[in-house]
Amino acid sequence: MEGVTTLVGQGLYMAVAAVAGLGIARTLKRDDTLGCLIAGVLAGILLPVLDYDTGLRAENLHQLVFFVVLPVLIFQSAWKIDPDILFRWLGPILLLATLGVLICCLITALLVYYGIHHPSGFPWLAALLTGAILAATDPVSVVARLRQSHANEELLTLVEGESLFNDAVAIVLFAFALGIASHSAMEGSVATGEAIHGAGTFALYFAAVFFGGLAVGSLCGLITAIVILFLGSAGAALMVLVLAAFGSFYLAEHVVGVSGILSVMICAIVTRACLREQQDTYLAHAAPTWEWLGLFFNALIFVIMGLVITFEMFTHQWLAMIIAIVAAIGARALAVFLVAPFARFVGPPIPNSWRLMLSWGGLRGVIAVALVLSLPTELPYWWTVQSMVFGVVLFSLLVQGTTSTRLIKKLGL
């Protein structure tokens, strides 16, 4: 009983910090994520004064992130997107989220690896993990500014949809790279033959995980829609949707062995598409419910980031942070401008102004923070990777997020 009481107290401490962060953001008239980050830093400073332990450990953060936080964030993001406009832009979105993410991941990894140039302390696997984490974008603040500017609804769908699929693919890449890195750490080194074998089977692995996740998510979405129609209640619909978010992830990840994140995403899209005529009846309260759930978990992740960030990161890892910022921005721009011209072969063409928005608006946020927080401390380079990702996220919040309004006006979006 004492353990449960302690756990509840720790959760309440971080939840109060998250609410305080929202208050700070409102006072400073800045993004909620920045306010929650500041609140997390302040909460961390108070810990020694209060002689309190939050219970946050590297070994339990991975479970918290993958089984609680990510399913909610992905489901909430997918639920907001209009299925009709999404299907119209599905070709370009998938092109950017697959080929674009792979290019972004590899270019980031190459730039970081050769920028740091420390093969023993920062091997190729560390660079690949960094590339996969930084390939995940989170343009929440840019989308909010686009909505305030009454931007084209199709541009909004393209930005949100690309980010959503982008996140799912980046998480699959991260899981694959983390599996190899963890195996390497356990064995001490990876033999050349094993590395070649791993590289050779990646395409098969990726296809199985990707399409398996789509299949499981589609099935879960159909079942969710049928159950909601059968129950015929707005309250019951909310219960079923929350169960679907966690259940589709668990079924895909633990039972079938495919991508749980893709399953959650497709489950949300299929459910909403099947129930489009019930938006004002059974699903009347779905949007606000997922809005506050997404806001809470998004705030919680940035509070945790504030709790674990240290001043030593900036004094010891400042050069690595700068390298990562340059690599992340450069790789994102190259990926978008290399892939976007081919969009006209699979769907509507992407205008040049939209490409620039996709490049600069591809902020790194909650997904990148969530992934890097889940890195096991057994990896000798985990702190370097965490420092670099935190540096890129801070740059996104302080520079990219704050200058996006000016860019939107300049481009006439």
Nearest to 145 by CA among 131, 136, 155: 155
Helix (H) or strand (E) holding 13: helix 2-28
Tell me the one-letter amino acid at 273: A
Rounded Cα distance between 361 and 400, Å, is 7
The Cα 261–Cα 212 span in angstroms is: 11
Give CA–CA dist 266/278, Å, rounded: 19
**Structure-token pair, residue 295:** 């806001």
Q: With CA atoms as reference, report the closest residue to 37 among 22, 50, 52, 55.
A: 22
pLDDT of 146: 74
> CB atoms < 10 A from the CB of 166, how many?
25
For residue 294, give every residue at least 6 positions away whose Cβ sits within 8 Å of its Cβ, in sequence order, or none.
72, 73, 76, 77
E-state strands within 164-313: none
97 close to 313: Cβ distance less than 8 angstroms: no
| Among candidate residues 204, 213, 201, the one with its CA nearest the CA of residue 258 | 213
End-to-end Cα, the chain, rounded Å: 56
C-alpha pair distances (Å), 345 with each of 94, 243, 334, 366: 12, 38, 19, 32
Q: Which domains occur in the chain, in start order?
A: 1-55 (no CATH), 58-411 (1.20.1530.20)
| Residue 345: Cβ-neighbour burial (10 angstroms; 0-12, 13-18, 19+) | exposed
pTM equals: 0.85
**Which runs of consecutive H residues, i.e. helices, occur in 309-381?**
311-316, 318-339, 352-360, 366-373
Per-residue pLDDT of the chain (413 residues; tens, 9 = 90+): 555 676 677 778 888 999 999 999 999 888 888 899 899 889 888 877 777 666 665 556 667 777 788 888 889 888 888 888 888 898 999 999 889 999 999 999 999 999 998 877 889 999 999 999 999 887 666 777 777 777 777 888 888 888 888 888 888 888 888 888 877 666 554 443 444 345 556 667 778 888 899 999 999 999 999 999 999 888 899 999 999 999 999 999 889 888 888 899 999 999 999 998 888 888 888 888 988 988 898 888 888 888 888 888 888 889 999 999 999 999 999 999 999 999 999 888 998 888 998 898 888 888 888 888 888 888 889 999 999 999 999 998 888 878 887 887 888 76
Return the residue matching tokens 């900036």: 314
Going by C-beta distance under 8 Å and a sequence separation of 6 or more, which residues neighbour residue 1?
Answer: none
Please give the pLDDT value at position 1. 54
pLDDT at 191: 41
Contact assessment for residue 375 and residue 368, using Cβ atoms and an 8 Å cutoff = no
Instruction: Classify the phi-psi angles of 379: left when phi > 0, otherwise alpha if psi is within -120 to 50, otherwise beta.
Output: beta
For residue 334, count other CB atoms closer than 10 A to its CB.
Answer: 16
Task: Retrieve residue 356's tokens.
Answer: 């620039």
Amino acid letter, residue 135: A
Per-residue pLDDT, 324: 95
pLDDT at 202: 65
> Tell me, what's the pLDDT at 186?
62
| Alpha-carbon gap, residue 354 to 361, rounded angstroms | 10
User: Using CA atoms, how far apart are residues 391 and 314, in angstroms rounded to an integer?
Assistant: 8
Note the pLDDT of residue 196.
Answer: 39
φ/ψ region of 122 (left if φ > 0, alpha if ψ in -120 to 50, else beta) reads beta
Kind plus residue range of the DSSP H or E element containing 143: helix 140-148
194: exposed, middle or buried (C-beta count within 10 Å: 0-12, 13-18, 19+)? Answer: middle
Q: Is 71 helix (H, G, I), strand (E, B) or coil?
A: helix
SS3 281: coil
Instruction: Please name the amino acid found at residue 320.
Output: A
pLDDT score recorded for residue 21: 93
Contact predicate 132/105, CB 8 Å: yes
Please state, in angstroms and rounded to a whole number, the distance separating the CA atoms of residues 265 and 160: 13
